[in-house]
């Protein structure tokens, strides 16, 4: 493959990815490149290309025309690669320190070449290994406040906002979320995947009309509320971290949706991890949840007071109303994520990796119970302290 004829899509190999890196002049001519495909996600190819001589390295991410997790029987748009690159560029305007640098993109090849972050670790893996990442929640709270505020009607000119909504129309990836997060886990669908030991909990869930009504309300918000540009898949596998740094990656599910969706997914994934760890680590994860919301709340409030362009922002009560709605949505979306990661198509290693069957089943039952509880009670919980108190009490009653 040459850059000159890169007009027809074909999946890269380690060899053609190396050629491409050289042709793009991202390395000196005398570079000695090594290339490895390192993608372990559900959807894409990811090549790590490095130069042995000067130590420079890059990542080439390429979308496949199908969902890797299922196979070629599940076709998927290549456009998601451009959505991801554009979403990274938008985030870089507001939180450059929290996203990778994009070096190059090509729509035909569905590739994005970006900064190599392999000095960091995927936060899900680190958390499973008992690491703490002390700044994770401060950084993600800031990421959420800035990306969500600056892409909303509170900051953008209404015409520009609508152009942005249009640019980020992402129907196929949204459909995955509509099905896998909001629909399939709550009905008897073929995509679901759960252990025999969960059958009775799953049947109870499917028969719970109160839960279904709450999920219906949240799905409606996901479908209709174009509030801000979301990452769209902000789980701990989409975040690189170290003791000092945090970088958010993979926004291929980006679209204009309700702010609480991103916050809820992040918090749910911390909760999923907390179900498999000892009490000391659980306490640290709960502190991360508290910090995420408090940093988001404080920073969002500051931006609202100092920079909102919306006439009604100064009206007493409107900020409180908005934050209350985002908090309730956050708790509800977290409930959906807890359930779908336990019995739906895409699981998490935090739970599946628990080796002892009895312990694993307790953790998974807890995830389902907690998810149901959050869905049903989200409008009666007003602070993270109260949320965490209720989480503790649900977990004590297994």
Q: Which is nearer to ligand SR1, 174 or 323 (CB)?
A: 174
Write phi, then psi, for 358 (nearest 5 degrees): -65, -45
For residue 197, the minimal CB distance to ligand SR1 (Å) is 23
Binding status of residue 84 toward Mg ion by CB under 5 A: no
For residue 345, the minimal CB distance to ligand SR1 (Å) is 6
What DSSP letter does each residue of 210-257 carry, written as one string? Answer: HHHHHHHHHHHHHHH---EEE-S--SGGGEEE-SS-EEE--GGG-EEE
When CB distances to Mg ion are compared, the closest residue is 250
Residue 159, judged by CB atoms within 10 A of its CB (0-12, 13-18, 19+), counts as: exposed
Stretch binding Mg ion (CB under 5 A), from 149-157, 249-257, 335-343, 350-358: 249-257
- Give the binding site for ligand SR1 (CB under 6 A): 42-43, 67, 69, 176-177, 180, 233, 346
Q: List Cβ neighbours of 32 (8 Å cut-off, separation of 6 or more).
A: 51, 52, 53
Select the binding partner of residue 216 from Mg ion, ligand SR1, none (C-beta < 5 to 8 A, by kind): none
CB atoms within 10 A of CB 4: 7
Select the binding partner of residue 369 from ligand SR1, Mg ion, none (C-beta < 5 to 8 A, by kind): none
What DSSP letter does each residue of 249-318 carry, written as one string? Answer: --GGG-EEE-THHHHHHHHHHHHHHHTTS-HHHHHHHHHHHHHHHHHHHHHHHHHHHHH---GGGGSTTH
Select the binding partner of residue 67 from ligand SR1, Mg ion, none (C-beta < 5 to 8 A, by kind): ligand SR1
Select the binding partner of residue 59 from ligand SR1, Mg ion, none (C-beta < 5 to 8 A, by kind): none
For residue 87, the minimal CB distance to ligand SR1 (Å) is 14
- The single residue listed with the structure tokens 């100064």 is 314
Question: What is the longest distance spanned by two Cα atoms in the chain?
Answer: 65
Q: Which is nearer to ligand SR1, 42 or 242 (CB)?
A: 42
Stretch binding Mg ion (CB under 5 A), from 41-49, 63-71, 129-137, 164-172: 41-49
Q: Which is nearer to ligand SR1, 67 or 113 (CB)?
A: 67
Q: Which two tokens stand for residue 20?
A: 């491409």
Select the binding partner of residue 395 from ligand SR1, Mg ion, none (C-beta < 5 to 8 A, by kind): none
For residue 182, the minimal CB distance to ligand SR1 (Å) is 11
Stretch binding Mg ion (CB under 5 A), from 33-41, 49-57, 141-149, 266-274: 33-41
Select the binding partner of residue 258 from Mg ion, ligand SR1, none (C-beta < 5 to 8 A, by kind): none
* Three-state SS at 368: helix
Select the binding partner of residue 180 from Mg ion, ligand SR1, none (C-beta < 5 to 8 A, by kind): ligand SR1
Q: List Cβ neighbours of 367 (8 Å cut-off, separation of 6 or more).
A: 271, 272, 275, 338, 339, 341, 342, 351
List 250, 299, 337, 369, residue binding Mg ion (CB under 5 A): 250
Alpha-carbon dihedral sign for residues 150, 375, 287, 297 = positive
For residue 296, the minimal CB distance to Mg ion (Å) is 22
CB 256 within 8 A of CB 228: yes
Binding status of residue 328 toward Mg ion by CB under 5 A: no
CB 273 within 8 A of CB 286: no
Select the binding partner of residue 69 from ligand SR1, Mg ion, none (C-beta < 5 to 8 A, by kind): ligand SR1
* Three-state SS at 43: coil
Q: Which is nearer to ligand SR1, 69 or 160 (CB)?
A: 69
Residue 298 to residue 290: CA distance in whole angstroms: 12
Q: Which is nearer to ligand SR1, 31 or 268 (CB)?
A: 268
Q: Which parts of this chain interact with Mg ion (CB under 5 A)?
A: 41, 250
């Amino acid at each position: 493959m040459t850059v000159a004829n890169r007009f027809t899509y074909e999946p890269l190999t380690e060899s053609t990815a190396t050629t491409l890196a050289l042709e793009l002049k991202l390395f000196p001519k005398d570079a000695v490149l090594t290339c490895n495909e390192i993608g372990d996600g559900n959807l894409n190819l990811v090549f790590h290309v490095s130069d042995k001589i000067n130590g420079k390295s890059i990542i080439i991410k390429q979308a496949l025309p199908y969902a890797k997790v299922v196979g070629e029987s599940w076709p998927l748009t290549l456009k998601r690669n451009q959505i991801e690159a554009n979403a990274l560029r938008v985030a870089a305007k507001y939180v450059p320190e929290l996203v990778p640098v994009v070096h190059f993109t090509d729509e035909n090849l569905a590739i994005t070449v970006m900064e190599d972050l392999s000095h960091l670790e995927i936060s899900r893996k680190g958390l499973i290994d008992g690491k703490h990442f002390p700044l994770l929640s401060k950084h993600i709270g800031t990421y959420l406040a800035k990306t969500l505020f600056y892409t909303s009607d509170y900051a953008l000119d209404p015409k520009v906002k609508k152009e942005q909504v249009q640019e980020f129309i992402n129907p196929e990836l949204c459909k995955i979320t509509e099905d896998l997060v909001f629909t399939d886990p709550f009905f008897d669908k073929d995509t679901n995947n759960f252990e025999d030991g969960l059958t009775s909990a799953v049947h109870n869930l499917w028969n719970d009309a109160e839960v279904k009504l709450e999920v219906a309300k949240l799905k409606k918000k996901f479908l209709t509320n174009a509030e801000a540009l979301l990452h769209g898949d902000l789980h701990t596998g989409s975040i690189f971290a170290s003791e000092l740094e945090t970088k958010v990656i993979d926004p291929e599910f980006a679209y204009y949706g309700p702010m609480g969706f991103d916050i809820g997914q992040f918090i749910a994934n911390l909760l999923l991890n907390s179900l498999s760890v000892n009490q000391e680590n659980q306490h640290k994860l709960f502190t991360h949840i508290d910090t995420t919301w408090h940093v988001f709340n404080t920073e969002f409030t500051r931006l609202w007071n100092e920079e909102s362009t919306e006439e009604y922002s100064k009206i007493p009560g409107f900020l409180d109303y908005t934050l209350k709605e985002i908090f309730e949505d956050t708790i509800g979306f977290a409930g959906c994520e807890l359930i779908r990661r336990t019995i739906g198509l895409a699981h998490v290693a935090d739970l599946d990796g628990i080796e002892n069957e009895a312990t694993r089943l307790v953790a998974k039952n807890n995830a389902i119970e907690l998810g149901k509880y959050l869905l049903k009670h989200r409008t009666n919980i007003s602070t993270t302290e109260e949320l965490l108190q209720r989480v503790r009490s649900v977990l004590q009653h297994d």
